[in-house]
Amino acid sequence: MITSRVALTAVSVTLLIAGCGSNLPSVADPPTSSPATVATTNAPGASGGWIGGEPDWAGASESDAGTKMYSGAVLPSVGPVPGPIQPVQPVQPVQPVEQPGLRAGSVDDNADFADFLAYLARIHDLGIATRDFDSTGRIVVAVTGTTGLPVAGALVTVTAGGAEIASLRTTADGTARFLPALYGATQATQATGAIEYTFTTGDASATAVPGSTVTLHATVVGGGPDPVALDVMFLLDATGSMGDEIGRLKNTIDAVAAQVDGFDSKPDVRFAMTLYRDQGDMFVTSTFDFTSDIGAFRAALNDVVAEGGGDYPEALEEGLASALSEPSWRDPASTLQLVFLVADAPPHIDRQVPVAYPAAVVDAVSRGIKVFPIASSESDDQAEAAFREIAAATGARFVFLSYGALGAATGESTDIAATDYEELPLDALVVRLIAEELAALSGTNVEVPPTTLPPVTNPQGQ
């Protein structure tokens, strides 16, 4: 692993404006998962609430016949109680146990893309399967305004041979990433350089070949409005394997919501969450719609129970599709849109789903939505590969719980070494990532709350 990935500092900083293939063995996507944009409800006035009603958090599922589920515990069915009734003993109050906060690191695979492709190729050689997701031939598109500031939310059309084949939206730093294979270009075609792509936004146009970078100079000013419209979605694996962390994740997300809401720049922030479990559980997905009422969001988060799942893979793809399509996302032309996916298992690539994650990525890229996966404790090589593909394609960092000396939540075959990242409290890291996005979009400085250095810091220069 080349150690040029820039580590995040762990002191109070003022952020400035940001500038800007694998041959993995794959399970073919179903025909319904071909690249297509999922329609959104786009109702800016939404005030939150569970879409379709609050889910049943616990109870008998198809895989739990003969048992009853309650608050994360599996209890046997209760019949007649034999023998004399015993006197009721007084219940002793349970003293709350303070859980240690979660710590995490992150890497930016777009900063060293050749190294990322080498990692994916090695994962392929080891026989680790993912969906058909070819990251080779990436073209980075940058859109700048008349002042030199990035243009976020710019609609970029991509044509080849005179036919439009894709549309992209730039993210906060004015960039978008085009992966030709996701739109039908084969590796053989890319290798010959036979295809030249044209990128157009407004009256600016330029051409590029796979593996290059293209800059479009738009006739708009660039930067962002004041205040910045910010939609933050938390996509959470709520299966039983997350039970040991869900309480601490609640505290983390609660802290993130409070800190972002308290930024000096006062962004127009709304929060939403989509939960997913798996087929046969009490629910597969459930979404709490976007709301600017932080108290209501935090109250809903507090009710979340981790339960179900059964096997290792989970309904991640169904969850991602729901997170992108169900809530009332605002206009992507004028809103910073972020998804934080917290999970410890890969998707079920062994089954067909309406929207597989490559198609969900195409949808996210067409709307300028960044997806930051946060890998939790049980993540393996298959989960890490899928998470990093999603993050890199949408322009986000791959985040993973670190657990200090116990090792990071990555696969056994990862190329991420301890010197490639700096360990921070998870809430501080997520707040910093959001602050960086705001700074890039608005062109203003965003003060990030100070963090505490871990007991062991990285070598000088990391």
Q: What residue ranges of the chain have pLDDT lower than 70?
A: 1-46, 59-100, 186-194, 404-406, 442-462
Say if residues 271 and 294 touch (Cβ distance below 8 Å).
yes
- Residues 6 or more apart in contact with residue 37 via CB below 8 angstroms: 167, 362, 363, 366, 367
The closest of 379, 393, 391 to 346, measured between CA atoms, is: 379
Rounded to 10 degrees, the C-alpha dihedral 349/352/358/360 comes to: -120
Tens digit of pLDDT for each residue in 442-454? Answer: 666 655 655 444 4
At residue 25, the pLDDT reads 57
- Maximum pairwise Cα distance, the chain: 86
Bridge partners (DSSP) listed for residue 176? 141
At residue 265, the pLDDT reads 82
Token pair listed for 363: 């949808």
DSSP-derived secondary structure letter, 59: S
Give the whole-angstrom CA distance, residue 169 versus residue 157. 9
At residue 404, the pLDDT reads 56
At residue 246, the pLDDT reads 85
Looking from the CA of 80 toward its CB, the CA atoms found within 13 Å total 3
DSSP-derived secondary structure letter, 203: T
3-state secondary structure of 95: coil
At residue 447, the pLDDT reads 57
Say if residues 171 and 368 touch (Cβ distance below 8 Å).
yes
The closest of 179, 181, 120, 176 to 150, measured between CA atoms, is: 176
Give the whole-angstrom CA distance, residue 275 versus residue 285. 5
Please count the helices (runs of H) and the strands (runs of E) in the chain: 8, 21
Looking from the CA of 72 toward its CB, the CA atoms found within 13 Å total 14
Give the whole-angstrom CA distance, residue 279 versus residue 282. 9
3-state secondary structure of 240: helix
At residue 119, the pLDDT reads 98
E-strand stretches of 315-397: 335-343, 370-375
* Peptide bond preceding 225 in cis form (omega within 30 of 0): no
Alpha helices in 98-192 (DSSP H): 113-125, 187-192
At residue 377, the pLDDT reads 83
Tens digit of pLDDT for each residue in 89-99? Answer: 444 443 444 45
- Residues 6 or more apart in contact with residue 97 via CB below 8 angstroms: none
Cα Rg of the chain (Å, integer): 23
CA distances from residue 430 to 257, 346, 449 in whole angstroms, order as listed: 10, 22, 12
Tens digit of pLDDT for each residue in 111-168? Answer: 999 999 999 999 999 999 999 999 999 999 999 999 889 999 999 999 998 899 999 9
- Residues 6 or more apart in contact with residue 88 via CB below 8 angstroms: none
Question: Strand 103-107 and strand 398-401: pairing?
Answer: antiparallel
Crossing angle for the helix pair 426-442 and 243-261, to the nearest 10 degrees: 40
- pTM (global) more than 0.85: no
Give the whole-angstrom CA distance, residue 224 versus residue 174. 11
At residue 269, the pLDDT reads 94
Q: Per this entry, what is the length of the chain? A: 462
Say if residues 288 and 321 touch (Cβ distance below 8 Å).
no
Q: Cα 425 to chain center, whole Å?
A: 18
Give the whole-angstrom CA distance, residue 55 versus residue 63. 18
> Given 3-state DSSP classes, what are the helix, strand and coil percentages for the chain, each rounded to the nearest 5?
25, 25, 50
Give the whole-angstrom CA distance, residue 332 versus residue 394. 14
Say if residues 396 and 388 touch (Cβ distance below 8 Å).
no
Say if residues 53 and 289 touch (Cβ distance below 8 Å).
no
Q: Report angle CA 137, 138, 142 to the nearest 5 degrees.
A: 140
Residue with tokens 């802290």: 255
